[in-house]
Amino acid sequence: MVEIERGLPRIRGSIKWFDHGKGFGFIVSDTGGPDILLHVNALRNFGQGSVCDRAGIEVSVQQTQRGLQAVEVFAVTPPAGEDGEEFTTIEELDPEAAALPLEPARVKWFDKIKGFGFANVFSRPEDVFIHMEVLRKSGFAELQPGEAIGLRITDGERGRMAVSISSWETALNNT
């Protein structure tokens, strides 16, 4: 049975690939069928600028002359590990992390090659460290300077560090 969202079918699937530089990628539906185009604008409307390969996604779709296209993104979940097991998020490993507030922040810089970057939480002067592994386990492929995100933050040995990242929309809905 297909769910309908505002007159359009709602599909669950996973990211086949997404290229932030090109501004699009493709979704493979859990129920099969042709690939579904995911344009960066639909992802941005959800509050994310990127999504990692194999991440779970829930979207409404429409038929176009070129095939199916995602119209609206409703959810993005972290990808399964190489062995097919679901990633265990930091929140699942550490219930105290799940209790941390989700703080709205803006990306200062992120270097995918170095595997880390920093963000600034609104109304706080110090930087927050973001590691690539936290990014990936949160379902993101990369972050762009100025991108608005939500962070759960803990104090590490060298200062504040993110333990999970969410879309801007999620951060706004949880403040």
Paired tokens of 32: 């099969």
Mean pLDDT of the chain: 84
Q: Is the pLDDT of residue 1 over 50?
A: no
Q: What pLDDT score does 92 carry?
A: 59
What does the alpha-carbon distance between residue 56 and residue 13 come to, in Å, rounded to a whole number?
6
For the chain, domain boundaries:
3-77, 90-173
pTM of the predicted protein model: 0.65
Name residue 127's beta-bridge partners. 120
CATH class of 3-77: mainly beta
Give yes or no on whether 3-77 and 90-173 have one common fold.
yes
Q: Give residue-wise pLDDT tens across range 30-69.
A: 999 999 999 999 988 888 888 888 889 999 999 999 899 9
Q: Is the pLDDT of residue 125 over 80?
A: yes
Amino acid in position 108: K
What does the alpha-carbon distance between residue 11 and residue 150 come to, in Å, rounded to a whole number?
25
Q: Give residue-wise pLDDT tens across range 77-112.
A: 877 655 555 555 555 556 777 788 889 999 999 998
Residue at token pair 């799940």:
98
What topology does CATH give the domain 90-173?
Answer: OB fold (Dihydrolipoamide Acetyltransferase, E2P) (2.40.50)
On the CB side of 54, CA atoms within 13 Å amount to: 12
